[in-house]
Structure 1
Amino acid sequence: MSKAATCAHCGKPVVDAYKPFCSKRCADVDLARWLRADYAIPVADELPDEPEE
Structure 2
Amino acid sequence: MSKPVTCPMCKQPPVEAFKPFCSKRCADLDLGKWFTGAYAIPGEPVDQADETPPAEPDNG
Class of the TM-score when normalised by the shorter of the 2 chains: 0.7 to 0.9
Whose relative contact order is higher, 1 or 2, with alpha carbons under 8 Å and at least 6 apart?
A: 1
- Counterpart position of 1:38: 38
So what's the TM-score if we normalise by structure 2?
A: 0.65
CA RMSD of aligned residues (A): 2.1
Runs ≥4 in structure 1, deviation > 4 angstroms? none
Structure 1 residues 16-35: aligned runs within 5 Å: 16-35=16-35
So what's the TM-score if we normalise by structure 1?
A: 0.72
What are structure 1's unaligned runs of at least 5 residues? 47-53
**Deviation by residue 1:5-34 (Cα, 9 ceiling, x = unmatched):** 211110001100000000000000000000
User: Are residues 1:14 and 2:11 paired?
Assistant: no
- Report how many aligned residue pairs link the two structures: 47
Tell me the amino acid that sits aligned with residue 10 of structure 1: C
Structure number having the greater helix percentage: 2
What are structure 2's unaligned runs of at least 5 residues? 47-60
What secondary structure does 1:14 align onto?
coil
